[in-house]
Amino acid sequence: MEEWIKFVCQSCGAKVKTPVENVGKKGRCYQCKTECVIPEKEIKIEDDGAEAFIDDLMRDLEEIDKQAEIKSKSQAQILESQKVTSGLIGLDDPI
């Protein structure tokens, strides 16, 4: 089983992992493409809660999208029912 080392790009802060055989070698960050030397010791990556915050935010946005879709459908149904009950005839409707 291959062992991995994790560290943070000193340029952009991206979380990087690579096989341990790359320790001491030069590599490029997958995100910012800055060249760096793979550290000998694993640098602990602190979870500052950003990922959980982003996950919560995405769930909130999905819920907002669902509510907007429901509201849009309801408004369309109301407009359609008003058209039918008021007897409005559009320009495209046959007389």
| Residues spanned by the domain of 13 | 4-37
**Domain membership flag for residue 56:** yes
Mean pLDDT of the chain: 78
**Domain membership flag for residue 91:** no
Give per-residue pLDDT as tens, 27-71.
Answer: 999 999 999 888 887 655 555 666 776 677 778 888 888 888 888
Looking at the chain, the whole-number percentage of residues with pLDDT higher than 70 is 71
**Domain membership flag for residue 58:** yes
Looking at the chain, the whole-number percentage of residues with pLDDT higher than 90 is 11
Q: Tell me the pLDDT band of 89, cut-offs 50, 70 and 90.
A: low
Residue 58 has a pLDDT of 78
Same domain (yes/no): 31, 55: no
**Tally of domains within the chain:** 2
CA–CA separation, 14 and 63 (whole Å) = 29
Task: Output the CA torsion 18→20→28→32 (10° steps).
Answer: 40
Same domain (yes/no): 55, 79: yes
**Domain membership flag for residue 93:** no
Question: What 3-state DSSP class applies to 36?
Answer: strand
